Structure 1
Amino acid sequence: MKLPWKSNDASVADDVDTTVSDPADDDASTSTVDSKGTAYTPGKGRATPSRREAQGRRRGPVAPPPTTRSEARARKKALKSSLSREEKRKISDDRRTQRTEQRERMMAGDERYLMPRDKGPVRRFARDIVDSRRNFAGLFMPFAIVLIVVMFVPAIAVYANFVLLVFVLFMAIDAAILGRLVNRRVRERYPDTDATQTGFRLGWYSFTRAMQLRMMRAPKPQVSPGDEV
């Protein structure tokens, strides 16, 4: 509005001043306001880490791996001393559960948990042949127990050595038959098998499994005696 004592330039400046808004007012208008009319800070969207977690994520130089067993034991002891009783118990329970699960899967024949000597389709097939057969070598452990008892009876202890020699002879014959059978069946089933996986090694592997009692074999037998393989 132009007043009598103001010039035209002054009136234009006043009009411009009244139309320009204050930046502070704009910031205030864009600030977050809750239902009660008070400003607040939005949440981070995650929980605040505990002191132990924050220290665990603290960056720094990584310690070199231990060079000796004594150093490794010292580090393991220091790590255990820094844990609480509940954490130690939880770690122990987790390890026990993991070992139990690994043994169950190994006994079931899971390839991921087998020992290197038991892995592969050739060794699996050899185990099935041994488990489907009644082997004379499977009597070795019961015979050994009976022989130890007989040694304490003077009246029949004289014949123990003779009986042992006869038993070992029959066991060697059965082992030779088993080794030839397994190698022949493996070559028929897997003609492209490497020569290092057959021969004496495969025969010895089959013989050592046949010597064990059926309930003590690992992995557990997947076939019954008399089954066709």
Structure 2
Amino acid sequence: MFGRTKEPPAAAQPAEPSAAQPGQGKGRPTPTRAEREAANRRPLVPTDRRAASASSKEALRAERRRVQQGRINGEEKYLALRDRGPVKRFVRDVVDSRRNLGEYFLPFVLVLLLVQLAVSSSGNNVLFLASYALLYVGLIAVVVDSLLLRRKVRRLVAAKFGDEALFRTGVVGYAVMRALQLRRSRIPKPQVTRGQKVA
């Protein structure tokens, strides 16, 4: 209108098709949202409750067996809090490496009770009093042996882990309680043999 010349619009040039690279395609259509949700949907209540309950109970039993076996074998992650740590493991080895009188005390007491029952029915007062005397002798022997174990544990733990480990972990009482148990019933089971040197 004011002397401006109109230029014809440039012809739209077709875009070059991108070269298809092999291996990039999925080879399947993209699933819709409804299809994805349907695939992830699980029933809140199983259709076969009896089978689901049986499988759940079996899984719990297997887990309990694994935990119990781990505790027996002394695996650290399965142990109770009172049994964990290198200090407690060392104390268990010290106790298990010696012959403790405390582990024989319970069978000894059971035998004495049977003897007392047999003697009381016969009316022999001398044997009855002798069985009581044996009971007190056995008790005193266990106390002396526990004191010797206490001294040994304190000395070895202080030398290996320092004095603070004695008060932080309560190892003395732990050692005495383990020594009073029958060797076969100890959990974790002994990892050393009797007479083996513990370093």
Normalised by the length of structure 1, the TM-score is: 0.64
Alignment correspondent of 1:106: 71
- Whether the 8 Å contact between 1:179 and 1:202 is mirrored in structure 2 is no
C-alpha separation between the residues in 2 aligned to 1:179 and 1:162?
26
Alignment correspondent of 1:152: 117
Pair 1:105–1:48, CA change in 2 (3 A): same
Alignment correspondent of 2:189: 220
Alignment correspondent of 1:9: none
Question: What is the root-mean-square deviation of aligned Cα atoms in Å?
Answer: 2.6
* 1:125 paired to 2:90: yes
Shift of 1:134: 0.7
Runs of 5+ in structure 1 lacking a partner?
A: 1-40, 57-78
Alignment correspondent of 1:182: 153
Taking only the aligned residue pairs, the percentage that are identical comes to: 34
Shift of 1:106: 1.0
Shift of 1:87: 0.5
Q: What secondary structure sits across from 1:49 in the alignment?
A: helix
Shift of 1:193: 3.6
Shift of 1:83: 7.0
Pair 1:173–1:89, CA change in 2 (3 A): same
Alignment correspondent of 1:116: 81
User: Where do 4+ consecutive residues of structure 1 move more than 3 Å?
Assistant: 45-51, 192-195
Q: Deviations over 1:47-74 (max 9, x none)?
A: 94386x1x54xxxxxxxxxxxxxxxxxx
Runs of 5+ in structure 2 lacking a partner?
A: 1-27
* 1:42 paired to 2:42: no
Shift of 1:144: 1.8
C-alpha separation between the residues in 2 aligned to 1:137 and 1:82?
57
C-alpha separation between the residues in 2 aligned to 1:92 and 1:102?
15
- The structure that has the greater radius of gyration is 1
Shift of 1:129: 0.3
Alignment correspondent of 2:49: 84
* 1:167 paired to 2:157: no
- The residue type equivalent to 2:50 in the other structure is R
Which one has more relative contact order, counting CA pairs under 8 Å at least 6 apart? 2
Shift of 1:192: 6.0
Pair 1:101–1:42, CA change in 2 (3 A): same
C-alpha separation between the residues in 2 aligned to 1:50 and 1:188?
60
Q: What secondary structure sits across from 1:98 in the alignment?
A: helix
Normalised by the length of structure 2, the TM-score is: 0.73
Aligned residue pair count: 162
